[in-house]
């Protein structure tokens, strides 16, 4: 079977689309607000380079040299004991689990595009009431938009690498940068921009706790979509003699730029209209709609553009999350692409309904296990266990299992004298950091 190949720009935009998701525009700003601003941002930037970049290169190497599905590349590349690595790539199931609640969140964003087009809530209290009413009581609205997210993602993936995934990112990623960049440029004209800049880049180390430090390391890793086989699967479709180092630098730069621009833009609006930056996860769905209302007609325009940008980021990431499992069914079991896309789509759609219902007042008690409901358990399992575990496996595999000569042949000539720096980071810094992050997020190790 002939495998469709990404063009170089197509791969960069697709991988950047995978990395630039809700974590950049939604999670990064509120985590920065909760953890003191500048010091958190600095740790995030440093760890993006020494951990995120190191693991991204490793994941690319596995896909690029393996030329197989996410689960098969480990077995093909292992120099010995191949049977032990047969299940090394089953991290691709992580993406499927993420999609069970990610699709629901994309549905919320679709809903808020409609809210922005009709009537924004006038106060934070109104915005909170609206969001909680949707979350807990309005099953029909959530189900309708969850279904829409399922249909869009499944259709795009079913179109394949060239006609679906690459074309989607060639259109949406530039539009995403235009929208976020345009809103950022407007934010620079406001008085609140000076406060936002100081908050994000003046490091007050007294506000950075050990827990905040671990969260910054985790955010730097998770925002790049590492540890679930998406970058690995995309890399298997790269043309031969591709420059993995150059591609990784561009992807990390784009991902970081969107996070910083979004953070500066959102905090400027918050400061300009008297809101607090430390608003937690409700920043986007509760605080911002009320801020946009205060801006008048321009606020309605910005609200629509912002939630459209958020939807674009969610969709490009969702497609990359689904693709590894689709590719697995195609290569291992001979499924046609449409059938594989439909099967995986139906799995995350049906399980996603359970996640959706677990937030509602009618079914929450039935779907709560221990201290978390089903939605929160899926989030916790993937973010706190499976993603760092997947990154750890990749770092160990490339750093210790694969022959150093083979690794050098793939990327050494592009690294030049910095190869040993990257290799040291992959072998010693990234595994330790990821292990500590995983234990901390699981509650086993409290720093």
Give which of 201, 177, 148 is closest to 38, Cα–Cα: 201
| Residue 106 clears pLDDT 70, i.e. is over it | yes
Tens-place pLDDT, residues 18-66 = 877 777 877 788 788 777 788 888 888 888 888 889 999 999 999 999 9
Give which of 56, 11, 91, 74 is closest to 411, Cα–Cα: 56
Alpha helix locations (H) across 159-227? 160, 167-187, 192-201, 210-222
Helices 244-272 and 287-294 cross at an angle (nearest 10°) of 60
Q: Report, as an integer, the average pLDDT of 114-130.
A: 91
CA quadruple 322, 325, 331, 335: dihedral sign:
negative
- What is the rounded distance in angstroms from the CA atom of residue 56 to the CA atom of residue 49? 10
- Residue 311 is predicted with a pLDDT of 92
Q: Report, as an integer, the average pLDDT of 169-188.
A: 90
- What is the rounded distance in angstroms from the CA atom of residue 398 to the CA atom of residue 28? 29
| Residue 217 clears pLDDT 90, i.e. is over it | no
* Residue with token string 């499924």: 335
Query: Please, what is the average pLDDT of the chain?
Result: 87
The domain ranges of the chain are 8-441
- What is the rounded distance in angstroms from the CA atom of residue 391 to the CA atom of residue 384? 12
Q: Which of 165-179, 202-216, 360-374 has the highest mean pLDDT?
A: 360-374
Give which of 170, 145, 161 is closest to 17, Cα–Cα: 170
**pTM here?**
0.90
- Residue 47 is predicted with a pLDDT of 85
Give which of 235, 244, 255, 226 is closest to 92, Cα–Cα: 226
- Residue 285 is predicted with a pLDDT of 87
Helix (H, G, I), strand (E, B) or coil at 76: helix
Give the CA dihedral 77, 79, 83, 89, nearest 10 degrees: -30
pLDDT tier at 288 (50, 70, 90 boundaries)?
Answer: confident
CATH class of 8-441: mainly alpha
More confident residue, 359 or 218: 359
| Residue 107 clears pLDDT 80, i.e. is over it | yes
Q: Report, as an integer, the average pLDDT of 373-396.
A: 90
| Residue 17 clears pLDDT 50, i.e. is over it | yes
Give which of 390, 385, 319, 344 is closest to 19, Cα–Cα: 319
- What is the rounded distance in angstroms from the CA atom of residue 189 to the CA atom of residue 203? 24
pLDDT tier at 120 (50, 70, 90 boundaries)?
Answer: very high
Helices (runs of H) and strands (runs of E) counted in the chain:
23, 2
- What is the rounded distance in angstroms from the CA atom of residue 231 to the CA atom of residue 324? 9
Cβ atoms of 138 and 107 within 8 Å: the answer is: no
pLDDT tier at 1 (50, 70, 90 boundaries)?
Answer: very low
* Residue with token string 């499976």: 386
Weakest mean pLDDT among 136-150, 160-174, 199-213:
199-213
Helices 337-357 and 297-333 cross at an angle (nearest 10°) of 130
Tens-place pLDDT, residues 340-358 = 999 999 999 999 999 999 9
Alpha helix locations (H) across 334-429? 337-357, 374-380, 387-396, 404-415, 419-424
- What is the rounded distance in angstroms from the CA atom of residue 291 to the CA atom of residue 305? 14
Tokens of 421: 């720096």
């Amino acid at each position: 079977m002939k495998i469709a190949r990404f063009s170089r720009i197509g791969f960069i935009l697709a991988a950047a689309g995978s990395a630039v998701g809700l974590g950049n525009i939604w999670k990064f700003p509120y985590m920065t607000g909760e953890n003191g601003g500048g010091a958190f941002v600095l740790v995030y930037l440093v760890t993006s380079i020494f951990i995120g970049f190191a693991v991204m290169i490793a994941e690319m190497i596995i896909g690029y040299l393996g030329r197989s599905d996410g689960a098969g590349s480990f077995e093909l590349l292992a120099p010995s004991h191949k049977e032990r690595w047969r299940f090394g790539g089953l991290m691709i199931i992580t993406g499927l689990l993420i999609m069970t609640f990610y699709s629901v969140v994309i549905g919320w964003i679709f809903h808020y595009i409609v809210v922005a087009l009709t009537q924004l809530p006038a106060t934070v209290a109104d915005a909170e009431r609206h969001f909680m009413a949707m979350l807990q009581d309005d099953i029909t609205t959530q189900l309708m938009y969850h279904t829409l997210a399922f249909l869009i993602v499944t259709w795009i993936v079913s179109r394949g690498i060239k006609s679906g995934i690459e074309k989607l990112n060639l259109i949406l990623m530039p539009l995403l940068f235009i929208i976020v960049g345009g809103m950022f440029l407007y934010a620079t004209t406001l008085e609140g921009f000076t406060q936002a800049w100081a908050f994000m880049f003046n490091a007050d180390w007294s506000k950075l706790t050990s827990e905040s430090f671990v969260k910054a390391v985790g955010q730097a890793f998770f925002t790049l979509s590492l540890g679930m086989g998406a970058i690995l699967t995309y890399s298997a479709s790269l043309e031969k003699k591709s420059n993995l180092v150059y591609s990784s630098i561009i992807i990390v730069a784009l991902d970081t730029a969107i996070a910083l621009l979004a953070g500066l833009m959102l905090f400027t609006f918050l400061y300009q209209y008297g809101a607090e930056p430390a608003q937690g996860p409700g920043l986007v769905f509760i605080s911002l709609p009320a801020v946009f209302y205060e801006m008048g007609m321009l606020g309605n325009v910005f609200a629509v553009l912002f939630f459209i940008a958020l939807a674009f980021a969610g969709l490009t990431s969702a497609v990359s999350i689904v693709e590894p499992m689709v590719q697995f069914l195609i290569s291992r079991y001979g499924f046609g692409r449409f059938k594989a896309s439909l099967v995986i789509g139906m799995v995350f759609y049906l399980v996603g309904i359970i996640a959706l219902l677990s937030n509602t007042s009618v079914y929450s008690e039935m779907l709560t296990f221990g201290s978390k409901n089903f939605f929160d358990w899926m989030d916790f399992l993937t973010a706190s266990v499976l993603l760092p575990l997947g990154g750890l496996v990749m770092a160990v595999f490339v750093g210790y299992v694969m022959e150093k000569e083979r690794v050098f042949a793939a990327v050494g000539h592009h690294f030049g004298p910095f190869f040993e720096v990257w290799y040291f980071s992959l072998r010693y810094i990234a595994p330790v950091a990821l292990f500590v992050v995983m234990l901390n997020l699981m509650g086993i190790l409290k720093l």
